[in-house]
Amino acid sequence: MKERFMAKRSLLVGFGGFLPDRVVSNAELAERLETSDEWIKTRTGITRRHLVGPNDTAASMGAEAARRALDYAGLTAEDIDAVFVATATPDQAFPATAVRIQAALGMKQGFGFDIAAACSGFIFALSTADAFIRSGQIRNALVIGSEVYSRIMDWEDRATCVLFGDGAGAVVLSASDEPGDRGILSTHLHSDGTAGDLLYVDGAVGQPDKSGHLKMSGRDVFRHAVGKLSSSVDEALEAEGLSYADVDWLVPHQANIRIIEGVAKKLNLPAERVVITVDRHANTSAASVPLALDEAVRDGRIQKGDLVLMEALGGGLTWGSALVRL
């Protein structure tokens, strides 16, 4: 029987991201939609997005992000006990994208499963992995967000198709019994199914007569977003007896520059302490937070010891936050 290691905390030790090669600008979209670069930028902050090629999948992108995270951590796939994948766009109804990634990495040990919480998925997956580590069931985990939203877009609907992009991000979590306060301090998850019709995909395997396209009531989602995200942030800080001034970096879900700025304003955080990738990546759903985190760690903005606050809101509605000291 495998001996349990009772960890004090889960440390983030590896970071990786992957974006498809194809870059689509607002101007390119404006050639076939009744829109413009200025219209999109003004309302969303987005200037371009990456879209998958014919050979890209949620599993292939997630596996590449995972390889980069493992390389950063100095670990191999053999060191990993579990793979948690947040995705709203799996390649198949089953098997899970997580086990496809296991296979791609050459893992024959451990387990993996998918988590469906739309754009909040990475926060939900991070919390799940942290719970498994703290319980002593696993020591090392891959937490991945991977999305191919371009395959569920109605490319005739300018209100939605301009907002999203494809990509994958990953982190490696490792158990630690070191003294101090590094690692995941707390996570806070919420959902409200009564608001499910504000943001959803019209159909699934069990409903073949539906469109299979993303549908969104943009104004209503925006109205919920700032308030729910701000309350989730407050909840995380209060749980640790911390204040806004203690936060070094906000790494938000990259849905819309106005939502990001609204949350930052409520936190009284200056723009230079907010990681923003929505301008170049658009909304990559569950991949957006780990992609932004990977970028800011690798370019040196986020340093060891920094207090990082992550938050996201997605269809469900689901929302949540994670407070981490790197």
> Would you please indicate which residues are annotated as catalytic (active-site) residues?
119, 253, 283
CA 74 centroid distance within chain: 23
What string of DSSP letters covers 244-294? GGG--EEEE--S-HHHHHHHHHHHT--GGGB---HHHH-B-GGGHHHHHHH
Q: What is the DSSP letter of 296?
A: H
Contacts of 227 (CB under 8 A, 6+ apart): none
Return the bridge partners of 168, or none.
Answer: 18, 146
Which tokens belong to 283? 């909304």
Q: Supply φ then ψ for residue 159, to 5 degrees.
A: -70, -20
Phi first, then psi: what are they for 43, rounded to 5°? -90, -20
Tokens (6 digits) for 263: 């949350």
Q: Which amino acid is at 137?
A: Q
Q: How far apart are CA 275 and CA 142, in angstroms?
A: 22
Q: Pairing state of beta strands 82-86 and 111-115?
A: parallel
Point out which residues pair with 144 in neighbouring strands.
Answer: 85, 170
The answer to whether 195 and 42 are in contact (CB under 8 A) is no
